[in-house]
Amino acid sequence: MKLLLLGATGLVGSRALKLALSNDTFLEVIAPTRRVLPQSEKLVNPVNSSLEELAPILKSYKLDAVICALGTTQVKAGSKEAFRHVDYELPILFGQAARAVGVETYAVVTAMGASSASKSFYYRTKGEVEKAIQDIGFRSLTICRPSIIGGERNEARAIETAVLTLARLLAPILPKKFHVNPADVIAAALLDAVVVPKLGCHWIYADEMN
């Protein structure tokens, strides 16, 4: 099958890319990015500083499924608008473009606590993107809602590092849903969801990805 992977330079996306490239199920992995990825035999890597400009070319790839691991923080993005562009607008744009060319399977990472009614801008955005993707009408939609994501990042995030450390220290007394979710486990869940797609919309919660 041919897979579109969004967010291939991120923590979860990079793990998903590695797993997909080593999995014989995937004949080709199309991973649009803002910076060039290391070359691989099955990898197609369209590069553009504005990812949205790559959405119209999807029809040329004859895709079977989409995995969206796009995500940032407001601090890193620089503003609420820039954060929403990455975490809401791009997942929807590529989802709509993929569905328009016949793709029926989509898997996405949001966050535990995602809710369109949340007072938190972060969790409200995550909830809104879940709802908007459901409205696109994929035959199979999987939404992963991890807690704290564990793994080595390309960039330092002081607050997340502190939270990870605290979560690991408190793990024996914390409910399972608040345990650290390893990026590799989340990535594997995403791949499983598109390799063996289930009809309808399904959520994978944090306590299932420990």
Read out DSSP for 146-157?
-SSEES--SS--
Among the listed residues 132, 166, 135, 139, the one whose alpha carbon sits nearest the alpha carbon of residue 150 = 166
* Residue 77 exposed, middle or buried by CB count within 10 Å (0-12, 13-18, 19+): middle
Residue range 161-174, pLDDT digits in tens: 555 554 454 455 55
More confident residue, 154 or 17: 17
Q: What is the mean pLDDT of residues 127-136?
A: 98
Residue range 30-60, pLDDT digits in tens: 999 999 999 999 999 999 999 999 999 898 9
Q: What is the mean pLDDT of residues 182-210?
A: 95
- Which CATH number do you get for residue 122? 3.40.50.720
Among the listed residues 191, 166, 167, 139, the one whose alpha carbon sits nearest the alpha carbon of residue 8 = 191
- Within a 10 A sphere around the Cβ of 134, how many other Cβ atoms? 14
How far, in Å, are 49, 87, 145 from residue 84 at the CA level? 17, 5, 18
Residue range 47-96, pLDDT digits in tens: 999 999 999 989 899 999 999 999 988 888 899 999 999 999 999 999 99
For the chain, the residue count is: 210
Q: Chain-wide mean pLDDT for the chain?
A: 90
What per-residue confidence (pLDDT) applies to 148?
86
91 contacts 129 by C-beta, under 8 angstroms: yes
Sheet order of strands, 140-145 included: 43-44, 28-30, 2-6, 65-68, 105-109, 140-145, 200-205
Please state the domain count of the chain.
1
Angstrom distance (rounded) from CA 201 to CA 204 = 10
Rounded to two decimals, what is the model's pTM?
Answer: 0.88
* Domain hosting residue 23, numbered range: 2-208
